[in-house]
Amino acid sequence: MKILPKKSNGSESSASQKHRLAVSRLETLVPILLIALATIVIMISIGLVLSLIFNTYRFFSLVSLLEFFTSKEWTPLFATPRYGVYPLVVGTILVVAGALTIAVPIGLVTAIFLSEYAPSWLAKTLKPILEILSGIPTIVYGFFAIRVITPFIQALIPETQFYNAASASIAMGFMIVPIVTSLSQDALTSVPEQLRTGGYALGLTKWEVTKGIVFPSARSGVSAAIILAVSRAIGETMIVAIAAGSQPSASWNPFESVMTLTGYIALVSQSDAPEGTTAYYALYAVGLLLFLITLTLNLIGRRFIRRKTGNVNV
Amino acid sequence: MKRSRLSQAALLGMGGLLAACGSLGSISDLEGTIVIDGSSTVYPIMEAVVEEFSKKFPNVDVSIGFSGTGGGFAQFVQGNTDLSNASRPIKTSEATLAQTNGINYHEFLLAYDGITVVVAKNNTWLTDITLAELRALWLPAGDNPATTDIVETNVPPTKWNQVRSTWPDATIQLYGPGTSSGTFDFFTEVITGKVGNSRTDYQPSEDDNVLVQGVAASQYALGYFGYAYYIENTDSLNEVGIKANDSAPAIYPTLETIADGTYTPLSRPLYTYLNTDKFANNEALREFMLFMIDHVKELTDEVGYVSLPETNYESYRSILEDLA
């Protein structure tokens, strides 16, 4: 306890007594401090959710639930505003589905390689490098999308719009590969070694063991990896705000401009939707919908992870 | 008008800060009140002038409104305002009212507003467009009237050859300013006949750079924004000539055609009207007008309108001297 001032004239016993007193005071203080700080974090979360709920409630006092969920047009800022969330949902699904088509095969193959085939020194080197990918700021992926991916797509399909769902999908796919790989590899690695050796004892080849024993055993961990990646992709904003456009269309064509749930929030919070207007409250309704979707996915993902741990313990 | 209001405010704020740093020594303690109202299109220019002016004359109370050209004149002819901004010349009816109320005024041309329709550099087939075609292109669903013989249905065209049969059978990609933009208001009013009346399935952005990039990247894209932005991007964009009808010549926006009014209807003069009696009796207003003459060209360019030649603004000086 160097922070305690040493008194030169005090006896040693009184000094250690003081020390003990200070320590016990600290011991009672620390939990209070920690509880206070933890409470702040919880209060922030509660506050956020409450503000989402209250403002969404105000939105639905202006616009009917029926309009929100059944109308096929989303034009809150125009002369004749419509508030059908459907085009935003289509845009989101289109981009996320595209991202998964890229990320799931690449991510799983990489995970299988790292867990089953790569020598351990190689796996130990490759995994951190792969995880760096998830540390790249998403704005860089967005820029990469409009500067590299979009021109490439346009060279192949000339009618492609400059801002399009496909380009954002591909960039987002690259972004979530590490999530899929990392979690799936953990699941594959934690499959007990006895299962593999048992397979070999039956005369199976390495690929047969991987395909028939290891992968099925790790299935719930792999599902969790994919679900968490989906959740991450749905919430991703920067890539879609830069590359996917801002045209809420209910079209499933990936080469056209779309608008995602997050894209709408990003766009409108920057332009002027004055407080008190319906377009302003629509931000919260979209935000709450987004929150509920990602919350549900995260809960499902966690369930899968827990089930996986259960399997291993048995 | 060409940028979102937020970034405009930031820009003006920055300019104001610089001006404040530069003119710290010359702050005046002149006091007074100036009341300005009128066109929201002129508002960005006037607001920029006011912002700069307030740095130098912090004790002069300037209020500036944007109740529209007509709304502004309604106040002005009653003698309630010192300056009235307008995006059209004063109407005879308004001038008569001013006369009966004994209000003397002088008109000052401040700038021109011109909207440019653009396509990508590699678009070789779309070089001009008629007003009727533009109207068909931008009218919202359910609003295509019988007067347009191009589109018979109530559905906006989705392929270029539906607008003009010689154009390609390719999907139309449209780019334009967002709904909070003055450009959007003006364009929709001129082209579709009503402010805010626009099809909604286009790519909107308050950031003109986003529009430039989008249009430049596809030969099937078309967009519109302020002339200033086209001038900055002539290497990636082509301007589209506007034809009053099928047989009329295509007019391209240039500083000249915008300034002399031949680039019509997508350009218009912007004015401010000065109450000359108030001018003679209000020292703050006199300082404001002189300040405006010195700075309006630069600030006009900054907010994206077409400014007049320097000599025009200079000529206002002697007019003001006569009025004082």
- Whether A167 and A45 share a structural domain: no
- The dihedrals phi and psi of B106, each to the nearest 5 degrees, come to -135, 140
- Restricting to B residues 210-249, those with a Cβ less than 8 Å away from any Cβ of A are 210, 213-221
**DSSP letters for B272-322:** EEEEHHHHHH-HHHHHHHHHHHHHHHHHHHHHTPEEPPHHHHHHHHHHHHH
Candidates A154, A161, A268, partner chain B, best to mutate (most B CBs within 10 A): A161
Q: Cα–Cα distance between A190 and A216 in angstroms, integer?
A: 12
Domain that holds residue B65: 8-112+270-323
pLDDT profile of chain B (324 residues), mean per 10: 44 48 64 89 88 92 85 90 89 91 94 91 94 90 51 73 92 86 82 85 84 92 86 90 92 85 86 94 94 92 82 91 86
Collapse the DSSP code of B204 into the 3-class scheme (helix H, G, I; strand E, B; otherwise coil) and give the result. Answer: strand
pLDDT (tens place) for every residue of chain A, 314 residues total: 445 555 545 455 667 777 887 788 888 899 999 999 999 999 999 999 999 999 999 999 999 999 999 999 898 888 788 899 999 999 999 999 999 999 999 999 999 999 999 998 998 898 888 888 888 999 999 999 999 999 999 999 988 889 999 999 999 999 999 999 999 999 999 999 999 999 999 999 999 999 999 999 999 899 999 999 999 999 999 999 999 988 888 889 999 999 999 999 988 876 656 677 888 899 999 999 999 999 999 999 888 877 755 444 33
Pairing of strands B83-86, B105-120: unpaired
Q: Cα–Cα distance between A22 and A96 in angstroms, integer?
A: 56
Q: Is residue B1 domain-resident?
A: no
The 10s digit of each residue's pLDDT in B276-295 is: 999 999 999 999 999 999 99
- On chain B, the residues whose CB falls within 8 A of the CB of A256 are 171
Number of domains in chain B: 2
Q: Is residue A69 domain-resident?
A: no
The 10s digit of each residue's pLDDT in B101-113 is: 999 999 999 998 8
Q: Cα–Cα distance between A216 and A6 in angstroms, integer?
A: 65
Domain end position, chosen among B252, B281, B304: B252
- Whether B80 and B135 share a structural domain: no
- ipTM of the prediction: 0.71
Q: Cα–Cα distance between B160 and B164 in angstroms, integer?
A: 7
- List beta partners, residue B112: B269, B306
Number of domains in chain A: 2
- Whether B27 and B55 share a structural domain: yes
Q: Is residue B21 domain-resident?
A: yes
- Whether B231 and B289 share a structural domain: no
Q: Measured between CB atoms, which of B197, B218, B221 is closest to A79?
A: B197
Does residue B317 belong to the interface with chain A, where contact is any CB pair within 8 Å?
no
- Whether A133 and A28 share a structural domain: no
Collapse the DSSP code of B110 into the 3-class scheme (helix H, G, I; strand E, B; otherwise coil) and give the result. Answer: strand
CB A226 within 8 A of CB A299: no
- Whether A110 and A26 share a structural domain: no
Q: Which residues lie below 8 Å from residue A213, measured CB to CB, with a gap of 6+? A: A191, A195, A196, A198, A199, A204
- Closest Cα of chain A to B180: distance in Å? 7
- List beta partners, residue A180: none
For residue A102, what is the domain's CATH number? 1.10.3720.10
Q: Is residue A80 domain-resident?
A: no
Taking CA atoms, B238 is separated from B124, B170, B178, B215, in Å, by: 9, 19, 21, 10
For residue B185, what is the domain's CATH number? 3.40.190.10
Nearest to A247 by CA among A238, A260, A235: A260
Q: Is residue A78 domain-resident?
A: no
Neighbour count for residue A149 (Cβ, 10 Å):
20
Domain that holds residue A36: 14-62
Q: Is residue B303 domain-resident?
A: yes
The letter for the amino acid at B223 is G
Q: Is residue A97 domain-resident?
A: yes
The predicted structure's pLDDT at residue A9? 52
